[in-house]
Amino acid sequence: MLIRSLTWMCFGRIEKEPKLKNLIKQIEPYHALSRLQAAIGTGLLFLPWGSSLALEASSAAFSLQFLISQTCLFSLSAFMMHGARCTINDLWDRPIDKKVSQTQLRPLASGGSARSPTNAIGWLGLQRLIGLAILLQLNMYHILLGASLLSLVIIYPLMKQITYRPQFVLGMAFNWGAPLGSSAILGQKEWRVLIPLYMVHICWTIVYNTIYAEQDKKSNFLAGIKLTTLLFGA
């Protein structure tokens, strides 16, 4: 009841303030472009970071304050990377998103107020600058490893037109946090632990993204999009 009352008060305030209402209207397309309303994406990006951090924290002595600060940094980084990844994906997929029912309403595909690729690129640049500022709070190994993630994020949308296994590339990008979590607190890599952890998370990504793609299998096929759901005959 309290939340409902506060929500009503906020929206009532917005309706009485034309400037505020107009500002929100201008921001909303960028909010949609980064899928800021989809917390599940940020959670899935944080999962490999968090699991790697938990594994290393259990085998070494770290203060609670340090672990909380690292968790907050990883959470913010996952939030910004999710938004940037969605923006990059929409920029590449704009022509084919119009052909798939599940993606027709995305800002760039629908021709809404965020239809300008130039605006989307500017928004992407802002997100990456914030992401870089977060990354610079960590050690050099983590910074280099984190910077290399961008190449995987960029090529993933292209893989959907080249191979029926693009989810493997998505899994590599989405779960890059597995080695990042360890490097952030140890300053080194424990590959005998991190490689199995990384591969498990990649397999998990392939599974849930294949299930997600099943919803529009026919549209994806007609649009020429290659996905594991078509490869597996799901």
CATH superfamily, with its number, for domain 59-231 = UbiA prenyltransferase (1.10.357.140)
The predicted pLDDT at position 125 comes to 92
The predicted pLDDT at position 201 comes to 93
The predicted pLDDT at position 192 comes to 78
The predicted pLDDT at position 4 comes to 47
The predicted pLDDT at position 12 comes to 53
Which is nearest to 200 in space by CA: 55, 7, 16? 55
Q: What is the mean pLDDT of each run of 10 residues along the chain (234 residues)?
A: 47 59 74 82 89 76 80 89 89 79 74 72 90 83 79 88 89 87 65 85 91 77 75 69
The predicted pLDDT at position 183 comes to 67
